[in-house]
Amino acid sequence: MTRHLLSSADLSREEVEAILDTATEMHDVQRRQVKKLPTLRGRTVINFFFEDSTRTRSSFEIAGKWMSADTINLSAKGSSTSKGESLRDTVQTINAMAVDALVIRHNASGACQQVAQWVDASVINAGDGTHEHPTQALLDAYTLRSHLGDLDGRHVVIVGDLTHSRVFRSNVITLKTLGAHVTVVAPPTLMPSGIADWSKADGFATAWDLDEVLATGDVPDAVMMLRVQRERMSGGFFPTPREYTVGYGLTRPRLTALLARNPLALVLHPGPMNRGLEISADAADSAASVVLDQVSAGVAVRMSVLYHLLAGSEGAAA
Amino acid sequence: MPRPDSAPTSPTFSSAPPAQNPSPPLDPTGRDVLGATDIARCLRRIAHEILEHNKGADDLVVLGIPSRGVELAHRLVALIEEVEGARIPVGAIDVTMYRDDLRSQPTRAPRHTDIPGGGIDGKVVVLVDDVLYSGRSVRAALDALSDLGRPKAVRLAVLVDRGHRELPIRADHVGKNLPTSHAEKVQVRLSGHDGIPDVVRIAGGEPQAVRA
């Protein structure tokens, strides 16, 4: 295993499968009365969140604690960042305290890559700008795998705000690593520029018409709805929220159409959901929805990631 | 939509060793100390010892330590059930996360822990492993057990005790005591786990020449 987890592309298929297999065992620990393993005793994990987060930060914290690591949460507000300290000075200060891992969420794409060059600790990317969110992709893959089995040849449709979505970028990579085949759907205004070359190179399909993707071609095994990220939008991507829902929301008729073609199809959403915008309450609360499974998998997958990055010897990680 | 066959492989840093390393080949220069019939005889005796010690099969739970301990646990339980005619809960307890040498080794893939439905609270848990050596695996297993519940008693059954304990741990039921040197390796192969006939072989180490 590598020392850092910065991008989903860092992981080979064997490594992804090892992480998911370990996560399966960690998931069993979650069902015990004593949810504690002594594995990372004496290690220190800092969760440094420069951006708001509920599930990622809390699941990293729980994961670290259940592995007996000492976890400390820092946020930009309330740290010296708000006094104008640079990212480099901040992380080097933390690094000087001899911590073992830094879990970083930052609003700048590539921030984690930068930090990894400045510190000795393992750096885990918990979402950097609109770039990547590898542990989210791992927990999505875990959730899919626990319902569908081997993902080889499975068809996953990812719908929504591709331009601003790090979840989508990491997911495309990890799903491809596991042999799944991916179709991404977005309105033209929310398709990242240059996606044509990228989709050709990485072998995923792009589409503008969600209904067509759901109704024709390969039967989807899972549909992943992405959040419309209002905080990253400076407007002009679609005329009105209502118009987005009509074109790209997982509405009740679309859910019915999906389940008519594949009764076992799954609905995923990385959260937090904008109910009534990209996903209807019917879809979010249907039996096909595995949104809460994703959250529950989040802790197990992050325990597994911490284990693989921190438990072994330094020499083995080199 | 066809999947592209020219999927570019993502660049990886040094890849971890395979999660399940296959058992290394048996050392051809080693000597066999137990064959399939010996092992069967040992297990049958241990099964009877367990029943005798426990005064029957009440409250017994047999847990194997992966990987070969699990196969031995299932064999023992089959033998106990043959004698008692009662169902005995059997499972596996992985100790990877509880090892004290994780930091000095490459990352190990944890194995499956499978605790039978009745749990272990108030039960007599028999831990089963193939070789008892330093005692560190058993120490780890005891820690793992205490996170899972509170057994009434814990006993240890091993196929081979090769000595060199580093902790105050002993086995309650031993298939065979094999005095060995540190330089030697005790190789255990079981038909279900390894796909070859059961055997216990001692390999390596210079004492072989001394004994010969």
Residue of B103, B104, B136, B145 to mutate for A, most A C-beta atoms under 10 A: B103
- Residue B57, pLDDT > 50, answer yes
* Domains A8-133+297-317 and A134-295 fall in the same CATH topology: yes
Determine the Cα angle at A39 with ends B152 and A94, to 5°: 145
Q: Compute the average pLDDT of residues A196-207.
A: 92
Q: Is B106 on the interface with A (CB under 8 A)?
A: yes
Q: Which residues of chain B are within 8 Å of residue A202 when distances are taken between CB atoms?
A: 7-8
Q: What percent of chain A has pLDDT over 70?
A: 97
Are A37 and B112 inside 8 Å of each other by CB? no
Domain spans of chain A?
8-133+297-317, 134-295
pLDDT level of residue B206 (50, 70, 90 thresholds):
low
Q: Compute the average pLDDT of residues A300-306.
A: 97
- Note the pLDDT of residue A284: 95
Q: Which residues of chain A are within 8 Å of residue B140 when distances are taken between CB atoms?
A: none
Lowest mean pLDDT among A51-55, B13-17, B139-143: B13-17
> Could you tell me the pTM of the whole model?
0.88
Q: What are phi and psi of A136, to 5 degrees?
A: -65, -45
- Residue A209, pLDDT > 70, answer yes
- Note the pLDDT of residue B105: 85
Are B110 and A201 inside 8 Å of each other by CB? no
Task: Give the span between the Cα atoms of A43 and A39, in whole angstroms.
Answer: 9
Q: What are phi and psi of A250, to 5 degrees?
A: -85, 85
Structure tokens belonging to residue B73: 């646990």
Q: Compute the average pLDDT of residues A303-317.
A: 79
Question: What ipTM was reported for this prediction?
Answer: 0.81
3-class DSSP state of B177? strand
Q: Compute the average pLDDT of residues B196-204.
A: 93
SS3 content of chain A, % helix, strand, coil (to 5): 45, 15, 40
- Residue B207, pLDDT > 60, answer no
Q: Compute the average pLDDT of residues A197-214.
A: 93
- Residue B154, pLDDT > 90, answer yes
DSSP A11-53: --HHHHHHHHHHHHHHHHHHTSSS----TTTT-EEEEEESS--
- Residue B209, pLDDT > 80, answer no
Better-predicted residue by pLDDT, B3 or B146: B146
Q: Compute the average pLDDT of residues A78-100.
A: 88
Q: At what angle do helices A13-30 and A291-310 cross, to 10 degrees?
A: 110
Matching residue, tokens 């309650």: B172
Residue A103 CB contacts under 8 Å (≥ 6 apart), including other chains: A45, A46, A47, A48, A60, A124, A126
Radius of gyration of chain A (CA): 19
- Note the pLDDT of residue A315: 44
pLDDT level of residue A230 (50, 70, 90 thresholds):
confident
Task: Give the span between the Cα atoms of A246 and A236, in whole angstroms.
Answer: 17
- Amino acid identity of residue A311, one-letter, is A
- Note the pLDDT of residue B20: 45
Structure tokens belonging to residue B29: 């220069």
pLDDT level of residue B12 (50, 70, 90 thresholds):
very low
Q: Which domains does chain B have, with CATH numbers?
A: 37-179 (3.40.50.2020)
Q: Which residues of chain B are within 8 Å of residue A318 when distances are taken between CB atoms?
A: 14
Task: Give the span between the Cα atoms of B153 and B54, in whole angstroms.
Answer: 10
pLDDT level of residue A1 (50, 70, 90 thresholds):
low
Q: Which residues of chain A are within 8 Å of residue B148 when distances are taken between CB atoms?
A: 32, 34
- Note the pLDDT of residue A83: 84
- Note the pLDDT of residue B3: 42
- Note the pLDDT of residue B58: 94
Q: Is A79 on the interface with B (CB under 8 A)?
A: no
Task: Give the span between the Cα atoms of B45 and B50, in whole angstroms.
Answer: 9
Mean pLDDT value across chain B: 87
**pLDDT per position as a tens digit, B102-126:** 888 888 889 999 999 999 999 999 9
A4 to each of A7, A56, A310, A317, how far by Cα in Å?
9, 17, 10, 10
Q: What percent of chain B has pLDDT over 90?
A: 77
For domain A8-133+297-317, the question of CATH label 3.90.1150.10 is answered with no
- Residue B208, pLDDT > 90, answer no
- Note the pLDDT of residue B192: 93
Q: Compute the average pLDDT of residues B162-183.
A: 95
Lowest mean pLDDT among A15-19, A49-53, A303-307: A49-53
Q: Is B111 on the interface with A (CB under 8 A)?
A: yes
Which CATH code of 3.40.50.10420, 3.40.50.1370, 3.40.50.300, 3.90.850.10 fits the domain covering A134-295?
3.40.50.1370
- Note the pLDDT of residue B10: 35
Lowest mean pLDDT among A31-35, A130-134, B96-100, B203-207: B203-207
pLDDT level of residue A31 (50, 70, 90 thresholds):
confident
- Residue B15, pLDDT > 70, answer no
- Note the pLDDT of residue A281: 95
Mean pLDDT value across chain A: 92
